[in-house]
Amino acid sequence: MGKKGDLRNFEHGMVVGARRAGLSISQSAQLLGFSRTTISRVYKEWCEKGKTSSMRQSCGRKCLVDARGQRRMGRLIQADRRATLTEITTRYNRDMQQSICEATTHTTLRRVGNNAEDPTGYHSSPLQIGKKRL
């Protein structure tokens, strides 16, 4: 059984639709597989605000490196293509208030797309150079 915050927008719509169709809270809960409390809260929120919200988009681990930090990391790599992961992390942390570890740097570089080879076949990314570089 899903809690109110775990429901997707589609599921919120199913709850509101079932209640608007005339089903009771118990019938809606049985039909949709949610708790009666969830049905009641979603429908009450819809009646009061005219919309329902989901907390699903705010769950999960927050990114330590935002879009601005990704651009900055890209500039650090462009400045020195032969830098190791440790060197990139050290340079990134130099002017930042919140420092990151090498694993976060590695994840960010993979997300940004700096793990692809050059068309010439030369490994241009610190992630591709091997164990010494990674």
Q: Is the pTM of this model over 0.85?
A: no
100 Cβ neighbours under 8 A, 6+ residues apart: 64, 65, 89, 92, 93, 108
Phi and psi (nearest 5°) for 34?
-105, 165
pLDDT at res. 56: 55
Task: Write down the H helix ranges in the chain.
Answer: 9-20, 25-32, 36-49, 67-79, 85-94, 102-112
Encode pLDDT of 25-73 as tens digits.
Answer: 999 999 989 899 988 988 888 888 776 665 555 666 777 888 888 899 8
Place of tokens 């809960």: 29
pLDDT at res. 121: 40
Query: Can you state the angle between helices 67-79 and 85-94, rounded to 10 degrees?
Result: 120
